A and B are shown apart, each in its own frame.
Chain A
Amino acid sequence: MLVELFFFYFAAAVIGLSLMVITRKNPVHSVLWMLLLFFHIAGLYLMLNAEMMAAIQLIVYAGAILVLFLFVVLLLDLKKEIGEEQYVGVWPTGVAVAVALFTLLLIMTRSFVAGPHGNITIERVRELSHPGVVGRAMFTEYLFPFEVASLVLLVAVIGAIILAKKRIKE
Protein backbone atom coordinates (compact mmCIF):
# COMPACT_ATOMS: atom_id res chain seq x y z
CA MET A 1 0.00 0.00 0.00
CA LEU A 2 2.73 2.43 1.03
CA VAL A 3 4.75 1.52 -2.08
CA GLU A 4 1.78 2.31 -4.33
CA LEU A 5 1.33 5.63 -2.55
CA PHE A 6 4.97 6.52 -3.17
CA PHE A 7 4.69 5.44 -6.79
CA PHE A 8 1.64 7.63 -7.35
CA TYR A 9 3.36 10.60 -5.75
CA PHE A 10 6.46 10.20 -7.93
CA ALA A 11 4.45 9.48 -11.10
CA ALA A 12 2.23 12.53 -10.61
CA ALA A 13 5.25 14.69 -9.82
CA VAL A 14 7.20 13.44 -12.85
CA ILE A 15 4.32 14.06 -15.27
CA GLY A 16 3.46 17.46 -13.78
CA LEU A 17 7.07 18.60 -13.75
CA SER A 18 7.62 17.45 -17.36
CA LEU A 19 4.66 19.57 -18.39
CA MET A 20 6.10 22.52 -16.46
CA VAL A 21 9.45 22.05 -18.23
CA ILE A 22 8.04 22.27 -21.73
CA THR A 23 5.46 25.02 -21.14
CA ARG A 24 7.56 27.68 -19.37
CA LYS A 25 8.30 30.80 -21.37
CA ASN A 26 11.66 31.52 -19.75
CA PRO A 27 14.30 28.81 -20.40
CA VAL A 28 15.88 29.44 -16.97
CA HIS A 29 12.60 28.45 -15.29
CA SER A 30 12.45 25.37 -17.53
CA VAL A 31 15.93 24.30 -16.42
CA LEU A 32 15.06 24.74 -12.75
CA TRP A 33 11.86 22.71 -13.09
CA MET A 34 13.91 20.06 -14.87
CA LEU A 35 16.27 19.91 -11.88
CA LEU A 36 13.29 19.04 -9.66
CA LEU A 37 12.13 16.51 -12.28
CA PHE A 38 15.48 14.73 -12.21
CA PHE A 39 15.34 14.45 -8.41
CA HIS A 40 11.94 12.76 -8.71
CA ILE A 41 13.21 10.38 -11.40
CA ALA A 42 16.07 9.49 -9.06
CA GLY A 43 13.43 8.74 -6.42
CA LEU A 44 11.74 6.34 -8.84
CA TYR A 45 15.09 4.59 -9.38
CA LEU A 46 15.49 4.19 -5.62
CA MET A 47 12.05 2.56 -5.51
CA LEU A 48 13.30 0.09 -8.13
CA ASN A 49 16.36 -0.84 -6.00
CA ALA A 50 18.76 0.86 -8.42
CA GLU A 51 20.77 3.03 -6.03
CA MET A 52 23.68 3.53 -8.38
CA MET A 53 21.40 4.63 -11.21
CA ALA A 54 19.82 7.20 -8.87
CA ALA A 55 23.28 8.49 -7.92
CA ILE A 56 24.36 8.72 -11.56
CA GLN A 57 21.08 10.47 -12.40
CA LEU A 58 21.86 13.17 -9.85
CA ILE A 59 25.58 13.46 -10.63
CA VAL A 60 25.47 13.33 -14.44
CA TYR A 61 22.08 14.81 -15.27
CA ALA A 62 21.38 17.22 -12.43
CA GLY A 63 25.01 18.01 -11.76
CA ALA A 64 26.58 18.21 -15.20
CA ILE A 65 24.07 18.40 -18.06
CA LEU A 66 21.72 20.89 -16.41
CA VAL A 67 24.61 23.17 -15.46
CA LEU A 68 25.68 23.05 -19.11
CA PHE A 69 22.15 24.02 -20.17
CA LEU A 70 22.10 26.85 -17.65
CA PHE A 71 25.46 28.14 -18.90
CA VAL A 72 24.22 28.22 -22.49
CA VAL A 73 20.96 29.93 -21.50
CA LEU A 74 22.96 32.58 -19.66
CA LEU A 75 25.41 32.91 -22.55
CA LEU A 76 22.69 33.60 -25.11
CA ASP A 77 20.82 36.85 -24.68
CA LEU A 78 17.18 35.79 -24.86
CA LYS A 79 15.44 38.92 -23.56
CA LYS A 80 13.75 39.60 -26.90
CA GLU A 81 12.51 36.05 -27.40
CA ILE A 82 10.77 35.82 -24.03
CA GLY A 83 8.16 38.37 -25.05
CA GLU A 84 7.22 36.54 -28.24
CA GLU A 85 4.89 33.64 -29.01
CA GLN A 86 6.40 30.44 -27.66
CA TYR A 87 4.60 27.79 -29.73
CA VAL A 88 4.67 27.17 -33.46
CA GLY A 89 1.49 27.99 -35.39
CA VAL A 90 0.47 24.36 -35.87
CA TRP A 91 0.67 23.37 -32.18
CA PRO A 92 -2.73 21.54 -32.17
CA THR A 93 -1.14 19.05 -34.56
CA GLY A 94 1.64 18.54 -32.03
CA VAL A 95 -0.94 17.86 -29.30
CA ALA A 96 -2.71 15.36 -31.58
CA VAL A 97 0.56 13.57 -32.39
CA ALA A 98 1.57 13.35 -28.72
CA VAL A 99 -1.85 12.08 -27.57
CA ALA A 100 -1.96 9.53 -30.41
CA LEU A 101 1.54 8.30 -29.53
CA PHE A 102 0.65 8.01 -25.83
CA THR A 103 -2.54 6.06 -26.59
CA LEU A 104 -0.64 3.74 -28.91
CA LEU A 105 2.09 3.07 -26.32
CA LEU A 106 -0.54 2.54 -23.61
CA ILE A 107 -2.35 -0.05 -25.74
CA MET A 108 1.00 -1.74 -26.39
CA THR A 109 1.80 -2.04 -22.66
CA ARG A 110 -1.35 -4.15 -22.19
CA SER A 111 0.01 -6.87 -24.45
CA PHE A 112 3.35 -7.00 -22.60
CA VAL A 113 4.64 -10.52 -21.91
CA ALA A 114 7.63 -10.85 -19.57
CA GLY A 115 10.67 -12.68 -20.93
CA PRO A 116 12.83 -15.16 -19.02
CA HIS A 117 14.15 -13.93 -15.68
CA GLY A 118 17.87 -13.35 -15.10
CA ASN A 119 19.90 -14.38 -12.07
CA ILE A 120 20.32 -10.95 -10.40
CA THR A 121 17.68 -11.40 -7.72
CA ILE A 122 17.15 -8.91 -4.93
CA GLU A 123 19.04 -11.19 -2.51
CA ARG A 124 22.08 -11.16 -4.79
CA VAL A 125 21.95 -7.36 -5.05
CA ARG A 126 21.82 -7.18 -1.24
CA GLU A 127 24.75 -9.53 -0.96
CA LEU A 128 27.05 -7.76 -3.46
CA SER A 129 25.59 -4.21 -3.21
CA HIS A 130 24.13 -2.55 -6.28
CA PRO A 131 27.32 -0.85 -7.54
CA GLY A 132 29.05 -4.22 -7.14
CA VAL A 133 26.51 -5.98 -9.34
CA VAL A 134 26.63 -3.24 -11.99
CA GLY A 135 30.44 -3.13 -11.93
CA ARG A 136 30.77 -6.89 -12.27
CA ALA A 137 28.61 -6.87 -15.41
CA MET A 138 30.21 -3.72 -16.80
CA PHE A 139 33.86 -4.73 -16.47
CA THR A 140 33.46 -8.33 -17.64
CA GLU A 141 30.64 -8.77 -20.13
CA TYR A 142 30.44 -5.15 -21.30
CA LEU A 143 34.08 -4.09 -21.18
CA PHE A 144 34.30 -3.30 -24.90
CA PRO A 145 31.16 -1.10 -24.99
CA PHE A 146 32.55 0.65 -21.89
CA GLU A 147 35.75 1.53 -23.77
CA VAL A 148 33.72 2.67 -26.78
CA ALA A 149 31.71 4.97 -24.46
CA SER A 150 34.95 6.64 -23.36
CA LEU A 151 35.83 7.19 -27.03
CA VAL A 152 32.38 8.73 -27.64
CA LEU A 153 32.98 11.18 -24.79
CA LEU A 154 36.44 12.06 -26.15
CA VAL A 155 34.96 12.78 -29.61
CA ALA A 156 32.24 14.90 -27.96
CA VAL A 157 34.83 16.95 -26.04
CA ILE A 158 36.90 17.64 -29.15
CA GLY A 159 33.82 18.34 -31.26
CA ALA A 160 32.32 20.74 -28.73
CA ILE A 161 35.58 22.73 -28.50
CA ILE A 162 35.92 22.95 -32.29
CA LEU A 163 32.27 23.93 -32.81
CA ALA A 164 32.09 26.54 -30.07
CA LYS A 165 35.45 28.29 -30.43
CA LYS A 166 35.80 31.56 -32.30
CA ARG A 167 37.10 31.43 -35.86
CA ILE A 168 40.69 32.71 -35.99
CA LYS A 169 41.17 35.14 -38.86
CA GLU A 170 44.09 34.43 -41.19
Chain B
Amino acid sequence: MVPVTWYMALSAAVFAIGVFGFVTRRNVIIMFMSVELMLNAVNINLVAMSHYLEDIRGQIMVFFIKAVAAAEAAIGLAIIIALFRNKPTAHIDEIKEMGG
Protein backbone atom coordinates (compact mmCIF):
# COMPACT_ATOMS: atom_id res chain seq x y z
CA MET B 1 0.00 0.00 0.00
CA VAL B 2 1.46 3.34 -1.06
CA PRO B 3 1.10 5.97 1.70
CA VAL B 4 -0.82 9.10 0.79
CA THR B 5 2.12 11.34 1.72
CA TRP B 6 4.08 9.92 -1.23
CA TYR B 7 1.40 11.18 -3.58
CA MET B 8 1.48 14.53 -1.80
CA ALA B 9 5.26 14.74 -2.24
CA LEU B 10 4.94 13.87 -5.94
CA SER B 11 2.29 16.53 -6.33
CA ALA B 12 4.50 19.09 -4.56
CA ALA B 13 7.37 18.26 -6.90
CA VAL B 14 5.27 18.68 -10.04
CA PHE B 15 3.83 21.93 -8.68
CA ALA B 16 7.33 23.29 -7.97
CA ILE B 17 8.45 22.35 -11.49
CA GLY B 18 5.42 24.20 -12.85
CA VAL B 19 6.30 27.29 -10.81
CA PHE B 20 9.88 27.11 -12.07
CA GLY B 21 8.73 26.91 -15.67
CA PHE B 22 6.29 29.76 -15.24
CA VAL B 23 8.77 32.23 -13.73
CA THR B 24 11.83 31.42 -15.86
CA ARG B 25 10.69 30.67 -19.42
CA ARG B 26 10.36 33.53 -21.90
CA ASN B 27 8.04 31.75 -24.32
CA VAL B 28 4.44 32.56 -23.50
CA ILE B 29 3.14 29.16 -24.70
CA ILE B 30 5.51 27.25 -22.42
CA MET B 31 4.50 29.52 -19.54
CA PHE B 32 0.92 28.58 -20.26
CA MET B 33 1.81 24.90 -20.26
CA SER B 34 3.46 25.37 -16.86
CA VAL B 35 0.11 26.57 -15.53
CA GLU B 36 -1.49 23.38 -16.83
CA LEU B 37 1.27 21.43 -15.07
CA MET B 38 0.41 23.10 -11.76
CA LEU B 39 -3.29 22.33 -12.24
CA ASN B 40 -2.39 18.68 -12.85
CA ALA B 41 -0.30 18.59 -9.67
CA VAL B 42 -3.33 19.74 -7.70
CA ASN B 43 -5.49 17.12 -9.46
CA ILE B 44 -3.11 14.30 -8.47
CA ASN B 45 -3.31 15.49 -4.86
CA LEU B 46 -7.11 15.67 -4.89
CA VAL B 47 -7.59 12.21 -6.44
CA ALA B 48 -5.13 10.66 -3.96
CA MET B 49 -6.91 12.30 -1.01
CA SER B 50 -10.29 11.24 -2.38
CA HIS B 51 -9.12 7.63 -2.60
CA TYR B 52 -7.52 7.48 0.84
CA LEU B 53 -10.34 9.27 2.67
CA GLU B 54 -12.95 7.14 0.82
CA ASP B 55 -14.89 10.20 -0.25
CA ILE B 56 -15.91 11.08 -3.81
CA ARG B 57 -15.96 14.86 -3.35
CA GLY B 58 -12.28 15.27 -4.23
CA GLN B 59 -12.90 13.72 -7.62
CA ILE B 60 -15.93 15.95 -8.23
CA MET B 61 -13.57 18.86 -7.55
CA VAL B 62 -11.11 17.43 -10.10
CA PHE B 63 -13.92 17.27 -12.64
CA PHE B 64 -14.67 20.98 -12.18
CA ILE B 65 -10.97 21.88 -12.25
CA LYS B 66 -10.73 20.13 -15.61
CA ALA B 67 -13.74 22.04 -16.95
CA VAL B 68 -12.24 25.35 -15.82
CA ALA B 69 -8.81 24.37 -17.21
CA ALA B 70 -10.37 23.73 -20.62
CA ALA B 71 -12.09 27.13 -20.54
CA GLU B 72 -8.89 28.78 -19.38
CA ALA B 73 -6.86 27.15 -22.16
CA ALA B 74 -9.32 28.35 -24.82
CA ILE B 75 -9.34 31.94 -23.50
CA GLY B 76 -5.59 32.04 -22.87
CA LEU B 77 -4.69 30.77 -26.32
CA ALA B 78 -7.12 33.26 -27.89
CA ILE B 79 -5.33 36.03 -25.98
CA ILE B 80 -1.97 34.73 -27.26
CA ILE B 81 -3.27 34.82 -30.85
CA ALA B 82 -4.59 38.37 -30.36
CA LEU B 83 -1.24 39.38 -28.86
CA PHE B 84 0.69 37.79 -31.72
CA ARG B 85 -1.40 39.69 -34.25
CA ASN B 86 -0.40 43.01 -32.67
CA LYS B 87 3.24 42.12 -32.10
CA PRO B 88 4.68 39.04 -33.84
CA THR B 89 6.65 37.60 -30.94
CA ALA B 90 6.02 34.87 -28.38
CA HIS B 91 8.62 36.23 -25.98
CA ILE B 92 7.03 37.76 -22.97
CA ASP B 93 9.73 40.37 -22.20
CA GLU B 94 9.27 42.04 -25.58
CA ILE B 95 5.66 42.83 -24.78
CA LYS B 96 5.98 45.95 -22.63
CA GLU B 97 3.47 48.40 -24.09
CA MET B 98 1.68 48.77 -20.78
CA GLY B 99 4.86 49.86 -19.02
CA GLY B 100 5.01 46.82 -16.73
The interface of chain A, by Cβ under 8 A from chain B, is 3-4, 7, 11, 14-15, 18-19, 21-22, 24, 27, 30-31, 34, 37-38, 41, 44-45, 47-50, 52-53, 56-57, 60-61, 64-65, 68-69, 72-73, 75-78, 81, 84-88, 91, 93-95, 97-99, 101-102, 105-106, 109-110, 112, 114-122, 133-134, 137-138, 142, 145, 149, 152-153, 155-157, 159-161, 163-164, 166
Contacts and interface: CB of A to CB of B under 8 A. Distances in A.
- Chain A, interface SS category: helix
A30 B52 contact: no
A68 B80 contact: no
Interface string B52-70: 1111110110111011111
A94 B60 CA distance: 33
12 contacts: A15-B10, A18-B13, A21-B21, A21-B30, A69-B29, A69-B73, A98-B16, A105-B8, A110-B5, A119-B55, A134-B60, A152-B68
B14 A15 contact: yes
B17 A18 contact: yes
A49 B51 contact: yes
Interface of B: 1-2, 4-10, 12-21, 23-27, 29-30, 32-34, 36-37, 40, 43-44, 47-48, 50-57, 59-60, 62-64, 66-75, 77-82, 84-85, 88-91, 93
A7 B5 CA distance: 12
Contacts of B34: 21-22
Contacts of B75: 156, 159-160, 163
A97 B23 contact: yes
A44 B81 CA distance: 34
Given A50-B47, A84-B91, A156 B70 contact: yes
A162 B30 CA distance: 24
A149 B67 contact: yes
